[in-house]
Structure 1
Amino acid sequence: MKQQNKMEQNNATFSHSRRFATSKNYWKDPYIQYFARSIGERKAPEINRGYYARVRGVNRLLDAFIKKTDCDCQIINLGAGLDTTFWRLKDENLMPRKFFEVDFPTVVARKIHNIKTKPPLSKPLIETHSTDSLLLDAHSLDSDRYCIIGADLRDVSSMDEKLKKFQLNPELPTLLLSECVLVYMTPSQSSNLVHWAAETFHTAMFINYEQVNMSDRFGQVMIENLQRRQCTLAGVEVCQSLNSQKERFRKTGWEHADALDMMTVYGMLPQDDVARIESLEFLDERELLQQLLQHYSICWATKDKLNLGLSQLGF
């Protein structure tokens, strides 16, 4: 239960940090205001740039997958929290066949309440639904194109059962996304989840964003700071290097795996936009930004029975 609370707090922190960064114009997200009511306390420029790199980096891979499949795919956002990707994809005409989100029932209940009570959130959902059979209760939401499920990712068989109940299609190309989620599980729990994904879908991509290089001094300080706040990273041993991140996927049935630290990703994003966001706030110490970004990574793995060329996706 303690670990669940920490994961939920991490979700809430990310939502408020995104709200603050978008208020500074790092990127546009007109929907986050309906989940994070207040802009909250000021975040340091290096934190805002870190979130910018995370959002831009993940979206780049996500959008590339959707385009590669011509939107004939499904997405499963694992530990989605108060994420707004469904609404962004609808606005940008990049809607997959179906978009699933999975999180703890308490998080799901809060999100569903916000969707029910905020017309800018509910209207796009209704617009993508063609029948009268919209399911909307306290702990689950299921429409033609969007589904939210309350489940514990550590209980893979129960999660699998719930997803299939809501028409998950193992034959469709599938993208799975997790952001700062697997690190809160033990290595065996995250391996079970990653293995389930590889076993279930013959053509798929898994994008995982979380910590890396945690065995050096900077990484150890990060871990100590979190421990002081009673937050244990149960899966930190998988976060020792880019190679250890890739190995988790290679050992569980994925054909191809790549990983980059976020400093490298930051340098590969469109540099005109990077110049724009760097002009938003003065950064006193670039070295601190560099250290921070070197301790987070994006790892992505693919299986490609349909020969779509998924292994070519990247930066």
Structure 2
Amino acid sequence: MKALSYDGQQVVYQDVGHSDTDVYPRPVKIKIQLAGICSTDLKIVDGKYYNKALLRPNGVLGHEGCGHIVQSAPGSPFKEGDHVVFETVFPCQQCDSCVQGLTNYCRNWLHIGINSNGTFSEYLTVDESMVHKIGDDILPQISVLAEPLSIALNSMASIFDGRRDEEMTVAVVGPGILGLLHTLLLAENDFSVDVYGLGSDDHRLEKALGLGANRVFKTDAASVFEQQYDLVIDSSDTSSGAVFALSRCKPGGHLRVLNLSTEKGISSSDVVKSGCHISTSKGIHHSHMVTACNYIDSRGHKLSGLTTHLFTPDEYQQAFSFARNKQGVKSAFNFN
């Protein structure tokens, strides 16, 4: 099978042999339709991933995607042709994190696109427990967003934990896919959301307004709106974005960090002096992918237009450059 693999120095589109049929207890083989390009993929390609020792040598990149079942284990609830999405992590279920239910922080996980083969491939094999069926009538441009949507749903659930305050002032810093999905979910729950981006984010800021943002601002404009907020979502993925997000959070407010930048930017002194309550969000639990699939099956039309550009696998250099320069919103490889 042909796939985009990374040898530690460069990406190569080549035949990589078979997928990981011997890695999982109950393997399910999936024919990939679309595979989304994530900022984590770019960090790996650009040599900026936080722990290079985790990366599988000559492994296949990518962890977002959708496709159809090709082969499943005996007695599987999945059959050939089922339209499916999948979780990225296969947890060990035995470490301290897993025992606490924090499977997204498993110490021994297999993570597709990192230490097991990923989605930038004609075929993907994962464990049956990671797979979720989705409506056959859902367009792949929408189902490919299941993984980032599940991350946003995880973040939202733990921010509010059943508590609501419609008077809360809310800002999203960074109008990438996670920022836009947070904007949509917050607006659906009747929160007034301001979204901050850069001068180069015109298209994404326009999308934010279409998803229900109250106002949009550019952080690099000559005059930047100076309001502070009760809740700030930092999905900027840059150190400068993190600094800006912290500055916009009120003392006593809540800063939610989804920013995975490895650049230096904020000191512990900055954090202490801000007076903010800071929390983080990483990955998902199984239940969040279930919720994401239910959302897509019932309200998937709201995600239309977020997968903005498709590339063939042999256009990977152009695709990575396009995503790196934050053109469009979500770019994906088309393996159909």
Quick check: TM above 0.5?
A: no
Q: Pick the structure with more helix per residue.
A: 1
TM-score (structure 2 length as normaliser): 0.34
What is the TM-score normalised by the length of structure 1? 0.35
